[in-house]
Structure 1
Amino acid sequence: MSAGPRRSFAVLGKRLAVVAMALASTVPLTLTAAAAAPARAAACTGYVGLTFDDGPSGNTSALLNTLRQNGLRATMFNQGQNAAANPSLVRAQVGAGMWIGNHSYTHPHLTQLNQAQIDSEIARTQQAIAGAGGGTPRLFRPPYGETNATVRAVAARYGLTQIIWDVDSQDWNGAGSDAIVRAAARLTNGQIMLMHDWSANTLAAIPRIAQGLAARGLCSGMISPQTGRAVAPA
């Protein structure tokens, strides 16, 4: 055999060795990644519903960034008038993986309104959110948590499930970040917490809320329109 063929076989051998090494390193990495996904899922022993009322606002972008940085998703109960005025922020909420709910158009005391006025508040908000790119909400939170049979009936006519809350952060009442973190510590599987889009104290509390939930095996979930409880994201 001449020197030429011998050199060709030598080069071919080196190339095959490189390919074999690459395959050997790739297969374990692929298996490791596949095995890691169930491990992350198994870490969630329950789900809670984090909710933020009254947006979108000038605080929304910072809120979304903080939620994403801490691996949290939430339901944003938007006012219709705010959604109509800030459609890009509604789209940002959706883009960040949040769910959008109806929180009336002007945030009135619905129980003091007649049926036609309640209908207008809910209908205009459905239209404003959909028009802003937020989809058609399936969840409804009455302002101040005030409701009655008429409010519930009108909401149901638009295919909306009324959502109140189990834990009140009291951020609307000036609660500090420490108090908000303590409130989140009371959440149990399936429960829902009330917070507000505009609260600086709530924004500051989010990293510690995330840490506290993770330490207890709780993950942020979606709110089921069927049960009104927090469940694993679909």
Structure 2
Amino acid sequence: MATRRSLVTALVIAATLVTGALTAAAAPVRAAACYGYVGLTFDDGPGGNTTTLLNLLRQYGLRATMFNQGNNAAANPSLVRAEVSAGMWVGNHSYTHPHLTQLSQSQVDSEVSRTQQAIANGGGGTPKLFRPPYGETNSTVQTVLSRYGLRQIIWDVDSQDWNNASVDAIVAANARLTNGQIILMHDWPANTRAAIPRIAQTLASRNLCAGMISPSTGRAVAPA
């Protein structure tokens, strides 16, 4: 009987050790210290893939700026709230994703103002950051942005996820980031979601953390 009890005890201990190891393996890899901050950005949401993306970002300890399209924010106000609840920052990405440089000032104003309102109505606050569709901008766009107190944010690194980049390529693009820089990614590509665990690991290995984008400098900084 004693031998049987000893065997049971040994099995319990072994199972506990295995469970602990699995739990440790599943835990997110985070930088021991933040020696710099980078801006992860995701354009075009919110939509059908947003919840999965947010869950992955939270699971791996990453925060990001979500540049929302106004029409998507208006159609999915609960997802705007979910972005904020997940610790993300919400920016303006126009209402219908047009080529803004081909529009009149009043048309640009409509794209910007309606998105500000849609995001606010969804619980995302009043955005302070603006990402022009396609990175296209001119003096007319800047004039409108100034009216709404918006800082224009382009990017330093393009992940090319919109162009069917592989998971490896998306991870490699994130690996090129240096302190203060910003990367362009999108809400919808499956490869982007698949890359999240490795992006977290890559940044942590370089002691870089995912930060916020400063409305005053347009660079990634420590979260406020």
TM-score category (smaller protein): 0.7 to 0.9
Q: 2:143 is matched with which residue: 153, 162, 165?
A: 153
User: Which residue is equivalent to 2:109?
Assistant: 119
Displacement after TM superposition at 1:127 (Å)? 0.3
User: Which residue is equivalent to 2:179?
Assistant: 189
8 Å contact 2:31–2:206 — kept in the other structure?
no
Q: Does 1:213 align with 2:221?
A: no
8 Å contact 2:31–2:207 — kept in the other structure?
no
User: Which residue is equivalent to 1:177?
Assistant: 167
Displacement after TM superposition at 1:153 (Å)? 1.2
Aligned residues: CA RMSD: 1.0
Larger Rg: 1
User: Which residue is equivalent to 1:139?
Assistant: 129
Structure 1 unaligned segments of length 5 or more: list them: 1-39
Summarize deviations over 1:146-180 as a string: whole Å, max 9, x none: 00011011011101000000000000001010000
CA distance in 2, matches of 1:159, 1:116: 17
User: Which residue is equivalent to 1:14?
Assistant: none
Displacement after TM superposition at 1:41 (Å)? 8.6
User: Which residue is equivalent to 2:44?
Assistant: 54
Displacement after TM superposition at 1:68 (Å)? 0.3
Structure 2 unaligned segments of length 5 or more: list them: 1-29
Secondary structure of residue in 1 paired with 2:176: coil
Secondary structure of residue in 1 paired with 2:52: helix
CA distance in 1, matches of 2:59, 2:32: 21
Q: 1:1-234 to 2 correspondence within 5 Å?
A: 43-234=33-224
Summarize deviations over 1:68-122 as a string: whole Å, max 9, x none: 0000000000000000000000000000000000000000000000000000000
Q: Which amino acid aligns with 1:47?
A: Y
Q: How does the TM-score come out when normalised to structure 2?
A: 0.86
CA distance in 2, matches of 1:133, 1:183: 32
Q: Which amino acid aligns with 1:187?
A: L
8 Å contact 2:31–2:208 — kept in the other structure?
no
CA distance in 2, matches of 1:79, 1:223: 18
Q: 1:42 to 1:156 in 2, by over 3 A?
A: farther
Secondary structure of residue in 2 paired with 1:77: strand
- Runs of 4+ aligned residues of structure 1 deviating over 6 Å after TM superposition are none
8 Å contact 2:43–2:184 — kept in the other structure?
yes
CA distance in 2, matches of 1:85, 1:51: 21
Instruction: Work out the number of aligned pairs and report it.
Output: 195
Q: 1:85 to 1:123 in 2, by over 3 A?
A: same
CA distance in 2, matches of 1:159, 1:179: 35
Secondary structure of residue in 2 paired with 1:182: helix
Q: How does the TM-score come out when normalised to structure 1?
A: 0.82
Q: 1:59 to 1:110 in 2, by over 3 A?
A: same
8 Å contact 2:31–2:204 — kept in the other structure?
no
CA distance in 2, matches of 1:156, 1:107: 19
